[in-house]
Amino acid sequence: MLSAALGHVSAVTTAGVFVGRTFMVIARAGVRGAHRVAGEQNAQPLIAAMSAAFAIGQVLGPVFAGWVIVVTRSFTCSLLFGSFVLISTLIPMTRHSDQLHSRHPDD
């Protein structure tokens, strides 16, 4: 939001550093989760599927957001929809995490 509000190169760079760090932590957690779910020997297909899903989201998300902004002439609907998608994916992830912890109490 800082980079969008200020529009200065330093704001964009700072936002990129923070987003990059966050992405690295999330990606590492995803890889560890894939190893935990699928096991050390079978994690590669799951990691590949997660990477493909991320890439599809990176391509389609901005396209859809841009279309929403053009239609509504506002960032609000686009931001609200993005927030809704993120929150809605949290629900199945939380349920799945609870199931994993109930099977593996030592983790």
Helix (H, G, I), strand (E, B) or coil at 107: coil
Written as six digits, the tokens of 65 are: 């957001």
**Which residue, 9, 28, 14, 1, is CA-closest to 82?**
1
Percent over 70 (pLDDT), the chain: 78
Mean pLDDT of all residues belonging to the chain: 78
Q: Is 60 exceeded by the pLDDT of residue 3?
A: no
Q: Is 70 exceeded by the pLDDT of residue 105?
A: no
pLDDT in tens, 5-32: 666 677 777 777 777 777 778 888 888 8
**pLDDT given at position 74:** 83
Distance CA 32, CA 48 (A): 13
Average pLDDT estimate for 47-59: 87
CB 8 within 8 A of CB 20: no
**pLDDT given at position 100:** 56
Q: How many other C-beta atoms are found inside a 10 Å radius of the C-beta of residue 70?
A: 9
